[in-house]
Structure 1
Amino acid sequence: MEAVLDLLESDSTGGWAAGEHAAHLEHALLQARSLIESTVSMHRQRLVVPSPVARNSTAQLGGVMEQLIARGRHSVAIALTGPGEFTESVLRLLGKNPARATVRVLCTADAAEASAPRLRRLPEPRLDVRVSDSELRGILVVDGVTALVPANGPGSGGQFAVVNDAAAVRALELFFAGAWAGGRTLADHLRLSPRLRTELVRSILERLRAGHTDEAAAREINVSLRTYRRYVAEIMRELDASSRFQAGVRAVEFGLLSA
């Protein structure tokens, strides 16, 4: 563009012959056109770059999930939070088409109890199921590079998002790994009496592990000494533990206490 301005200025002062002026003007205009076309092309390329988050409707969930699971070569991590289209699609697909990759399914207690018969019948030999007391949200992470996340909240319309952003997928994978490490096997979870999964039992187990005396522990949780000792005896019986120390070890193994 500066060349064009130079031409106009030189023409106004009569400094160039007509032929030279025309040739230089044509060359300058061609350069300007080339610059404009290059800029437009770059802009169009930016517009067609795939978004790191692609939203889809629930009607597409099964198909997209099947493609992602089939694509997995190393690992497929799945978190289930309860009944719904997401959980139903996972159970249907894993039961019909076992994945090539190692599959880890992490459930909330409610999801595990609602889907336990189907989870135990899954034919996948490289599948591990655990139950977590952590707060989970439904996710599917494949090979640490792609994730599928159901949309939550009002106005979501039952949509889900396929996430390809490396940082976002890594964050979801780390969240899953942390909850997985503190989970218990499905078999251990189903063996446990519901009475062992209460806040009161957790409080007693924490005090047993900390070595509190019965008197001090009973005062802290606001029960009588007799009631506290009865609870301890019931907990040891449920955990099939012969000592309080063994009860603490088994509580960690079953995910009732964090390690």
Structure 2
Amino acid sequence: MMGIRFETPSAAEADGEDGAGTDHAAYLERALLQAHALIESTVSLHRTRPVAPSAVARTRATLTGDTLEQLVKRARHSVCVALTDTGDFSEAVLALLATIPARAVVRVLCTAEAVGPVVTLSELPDRRVEVRVSESDLREILVVDGSVALVRAAGSAGDEAAVVNDVAAVRALELLFAGAWSRGTRLADHLQLSPRLRTELARNILERLRAGNTDEIAARELNVSLRTYRRHVADIMRELDANSRFQAGVRAVEFGLLAE
């Protein structure tokens, strides 16, 4: 192995004849030297062997812009993005999405707070852009062609991001995005919600409907008459096209009026 051969003792050494002690010691010394040479050769081979690239690489926030540009430029078929705010990260992503080839499908899932800038992206001509709004607990990610992803670090600082190259890990992120996407509300539906559903009173009523409060208790807590409360409930159910109060609560979550 590796051009190194271990010598075996002579018959005299093995049988313990005269001088065997000296010969045996010499044999042990030669064997140890050969073993040492084998170990050194193995270590040297390991050191010169190319190291496989890491499946996950971290990048600081100062490098995120450059990293985003490199990833988005690779897009050929699809780009999936989840955005949770209107900060620098969102602005950089949206600006780059406007430059990708028109043939690529872009899916943007955002929170209600991030809808404003995203609306402009959805109006770009010759772009296959789909936008949905969600109030689910999203992690800001970018998945390109199902082969590479960028995951922004959680936390208020958000000073790091991880670039994921492992195919299995990217596929898992893509599936998580698909699940959140399926529960999101189409942007057009979100924008068409009646203004009365966005009032503080409507939100308070929806919260009490979801909590299962009785009309009497809810009306008392909101300091309105029972008749007025029930009229508001009927209006909200009609606006949400709900057949029951439970369904109204579900629709409120789907439309981003209530957090899950």
* Fold shared per TM-score above 0.5: yes
2:134 and 2:183 in contact (8 A); partners too: yes
Paired with 1:184 and 1:132, the residues of 2 have a C-alpha distance of 6
Query: 1:120 aligned to 2:122?
Result: yes
Aligned-residue sequence identity (percent) comes to 47
Letter in structure 2 aligned against 1:139: I
2:46 is aligned, of 39, 42, 47, to 42
1:205 and 1:257 in contact (8 A); partners too: no
Query: 1:228 aligned to 2:225?
Result: no
1:129 is aligned, of 128, 131, 156, to 131
1:70 and 1:100 in contact (8 A); partners too: no
CA RMSD of aligned residues (A): 4.3
2:60 is aligned, of 57, 62, 65, to 57
Q: 1:31 to 1:244 in 2, by over 3 A?
A: closer
Aligned match of 1:151: 153
Paired with 1:185 and 1:255, the residues of 2 have a C-alpha distance of 11
State the TM-score, normalizing by the size of structure 1. Answer: 0.70
Q: 1:55 to 1:194 in 2, by over 3 A?
A: farther
Deviation at 1:231, TM superposition (A): 1.2
Listed one character per residue, the Cα deviations across residues 108-153 of structure 1 (whole Å, up to 9, x for unaligned) are 000013x144223334532210000112121112233322022244
1:3 and 1:28 in contact (8 A); partners too: no
1:79 and 1:106 in contact (8 A); partners too: yes
Q: 1:87 to 1:15 in 2, by over 3 A?
A: same
Letter in structure 2 aligned against 1:140: L
Aligned match of 2:251: 251
Paired with 1:179 and 1:195, the residues of 2 have a C-alpha distance of 27
Unpaired stretches in structure 2, ≥5 consecutive residues: 14-18
Deviation at 1:218, TM superposition (A): 1.2
Paired with 1:36 and 1:200, the residues of 2 have a C-alpha distance of 73
Listed one character per residue, the Cα deviations across residues 196-230 of structure 1 (whole Å, up to 9, x for unaligned) are 256435447769xxxx9xxx841464555313322
Matches within 5 A, 1:58-77: 58-77=61-80
- Give SS of 2:93's match: helix
Listed one character per residue, the Cα deviations across residues 183-207 of structure 1 (whole Å, up to 9, x for unaligned) are 1111111122454256435447769
Query: 1:105 aligned to 2:108?
Result: yes
Paired with 1:108 and 1:159, the residues of 2 have a C-alpha distance of 21
Q: 1:201 to 1:116 in 2, by over 3 A?
A: farther
Tell me whether 119-128 or 85-94 shows the greater mean CA deviation: 119-128
- Give SS of 2:127's match: coil
1:79 is aligned, of 61, 82, 85, to 82
Listed one character per residue, the Cα deviations across residues 31-80 of structure 1 (whole Å, up to 9, x for unaligned) are 7535422233325547x322222111333323322232232344321001
Aligned match of 2:16: none
State the TM-score, normalizing by the size of structure 2. Answer: 0.69
Letter in structure 1 aligned against 2:104: A
Letter in structure 1 aligned against 2:228: T
1:72 and 1:100 in contact (8 A); partners too: no
Paired with 1:76 and 1:53, the residues of 2 have a C-alpha distance of 19
How many residues get paired?
239
Q: 1:154 to 1:123 in 2, by over 3 A?
A: same
1:218 is aligned, of 212, 215, 220, to 215
Query: 1:200 aligned to 2:211?
Result: no
1:139 and 1:148 in contact (8 A); partners too: yes
Paired with 1:222 and 1:237, the residues of 2 have a C-alpha distance of 19
Aligned match of 1:184: 185
Deviation at 1:171, TM superposition (A): 3.8
Unpaired stretches in structure 1, ≥5 consecutive residues: none
Q: 1:220 to 1:41 in 2, by over 3 A?
A: farther
Aligned match of 1:88: 91
